[in-house]
Chain A
Amino acid sequence: MEITVKVKRCNPQGNADCKPSWQSYDIKAEVGMSVLEVLLDVIAGVDPSLVCRRSCRSAICGSCAMKINGRPLLACDTQIIEEYEKAGRIELEPLDNHRVIKDLAVFQEPPWDEFDKIIPYLNEKDKDVAMTAEDEHAIDASQKCIMCGSCNSVCNALEMEKNYLGPAALAKAWRFVGDVREGKKEKRLDRLSQEHGIWDCVRCVHCTEYCPKDVAPLSAIERLRDKAMAYGIDDNHGAKHSTAMVDSIRRVGRLDEAAMTFKTLGLLRSIGMIPFGMKMEMHGKMPHPVVLPAIDGIDEVRKIMDKREEEKKKEELD
């Protein structure tokens, strides 16, 4: 099958700003060929100056992540004919949210100091702890990460805030926090709860959606938040917001926006919102805590919550 492959090329040669341009290659694809195989044919036969990283060809080294028809994929793990038939085109671009080195190669991995922020190795407990199959299961998904950068490339929070640790690093962080053998969980969670850590995530679910290895970084972030609060690390807007939601559910069974704003931001910042609140009020959009009635059966809600709180007290933190 004859297919035109379009590649977004950029050759900065040391210049910071580089205007990318599209180049087309007409190729012959056979059934079973991956996008990477086609690129290798182009490089070997037509244009050896085209750059894309590649190594294992079997979706485990993480080198060849790129944007294929608008979303991140491993080029070696994408059948070109299938993709072409689905999308009607083959357009290859470097990953978003990463600076381009040349053509399809980007600065794929975090710089060392960024990487070190999550303390990227196990800190053994003093005593030997044997791992069970269940313990293994708890961190299984986060261990599958191949550092391809796909999740970071689609992360909406990273798009806006470059200092955010990002889903890849946080999935890795959970690999340690979730490990029964780890001895410094609290220290880790404390660090991760600081600015641009776990609470920067906007829950856009892009990371989990596009991860080629089912790492589910969002679940890792949710678990880190859960654990951080269980350790009582809650002196931040994110944890306060979450706790305020829980309080609101206990009180009225549902979301009490006004109370949540107050509890999350504190008195002073809430007062700062008054002029805006008055504007909302004019459109009937200002929530009124005093008139918000509880749902039917609020007692049930409270009983369940009490029971769970009791259970939690018994769950040992380590």
Chain B
Amino acid sequence: MSLKFAYYPGCASKEITRESSDTTLKVAPLLDIELKEMPKANCCGAGLLKDYDYKLHLAMNARIFAEAEGMGLDIMTICSTCLMVMSTANSELKNDEKLLAETNELLGEAGLTYKGTIDIKHFLWVVMKEVGAEKLKGLVKRPLKGIRLASFYGCHTLRPSSVLGFDDPLNPTSMEEITAALGAESVDYDGRTKCCGFQADLVTEEVALAMTAKRLLSAKDSGAHSVVTPCPFCHINLDSYQSKAERVAGRKIDIPVLHFTQALGIALGLSSKDMGLDRHMVPLQDLLDSI
């Protein structure tokens, strides 16, 4: 039986972290997952839209949901922030008739309605819950033997658990379980479930970078060969801004950062080119050579 979703990579993964979406599109068929593009889908607002205007935020999210509803599919995303923003909006709309009606009034302006029938899932959940670690293990072509990975969950993968509810926000295990299925080892470290600082990059940059550095250093000092994250925004801070974080930390960090999708891709036998590994700012070659 094949799984089928409306695919919402999120804005980051359409541009800056394109490599993650490219990888997803190649990994999904190997896992019997069919992904349908959403050509009309707008940005979820990443929370910034919610800061600007709560009702507009609901309406813009509902517009995304309406498209999926029209396709008769649940949404799968590879972006944790999109997951959190869309899931909380969806839960609020589903649990408050008045809010849903007000939102539909706005959508009506564009001839749309949202009935409140769809769910939103992260690729990580789909792999964990619907594909399963056992099946995944059987598909591995290139086990990540001898590699120690530091899973960096990303805030919006886990919290608020009352809405997301997929994994324990304090002691999550899904990333480690998948890591194990791929043949790699996991390290435990202080920053595992904490914030990378992304949302403050353009607001209080120094604080954001100090946070990024602290998380990376705790991963590095735990003996990890690489960080792996299911969130593209975390990836931007941890990889793209790592050199800036090093400047704030006053110390070389130099730890590669894989997208969760790439960890799957490597183990399932995709090529570096398929996964856009050359797009990373922190080089991955040593890591790949050691597998």
Contacts and interface: CB of A to CB of B under 8 A. Distances in A.
Q: Is A in direct contact with B (CB under 8 Å) within the complex?
A: yes
B50 A307 contact: no
A199 B207 CA distance: 12
B12 to A, nearest CB: 7
A212 to B, nearest CB: 13
A264 B159 contact: no
Contacts of B170: 70-71
Nearest to A225: B51
B118 interface: no
Contacts of B49: 242, 245-246, 249
Given A223-B54, A249-B43, A284 B279 contact: yes
Nearest to A214: B162
A202 B208 contact: yes
Contacts of A248: 43
Interface residues of B, number: 63
Interface in A233-251: 237-238, 241-243, 245-246, 248-249
Contacts, number: 179
Contacts of A292: 15
Nearest to B154: A204
B6 interface: no
B100 to A, nearest CB: 15
A87 to B, nearest CB: 8
26 contacts: A160-B211, A200-B203, A204-B195, A205-B155, A205-B159, A206-B159, A225-B51, A230-B53, A242-B51, A243-B52, A245-B52, A248-B43, A249-B43, A253-B43, A254-B11, A279-B281, A285-B240, A287-B15, A287-B16, A292-B15, A295-B41, A300-B110, A301-B63, A301-B110, A304-B110, A307-B106
A254 B204 contact: no
Interface residues of A, number: 62
B107 A242 contact: no
Contact of B42 (A71, A249, A303): A249
A234 to B, nearest CB: 10
A254 B202 contact: no
B281 A280 contact: yes
Contacts of A260: 202
Interface of B: 11-12, 14-16, 18, 39-43, 45-56, 59-60, 63, 84, 106-107, 109-112, 155-156, 158-161, 169-171, 194-195, 197-200, 202-204, 207-208, 210-211, 214, 240, 243-244, 278-281
Given A254-B11, A255-B12, A301-B63, A226 B207 contact: no
Given A160-B210, A241-B48, A304 B107 contact: yes
Interface of A: 70-71, 156-157, 159-161, 199-206, 208-209, 222-223, 225-226, 229-230, 237-238, 241-243, 245-246, 248-249, 253-255, 257, 260-261, 264-265, 276, 279-280, 283-285, 287, 292, 295-297, 299-301, 303-308, 311-312
Contact of B45 (A159, A199, A245): A245
Contact of A226 (B53, B59, B200): B53
A249 B203 CA distance: 19
A296 B39 CA distance: 6
A204 B279 CA distance: 27
Contacts of B198: 202
Contact of B52 (A159, A209, A246, A301): A246
Max chain B C-beta neighbours (<10 A), residue from A159, A203, A242, A292? A203
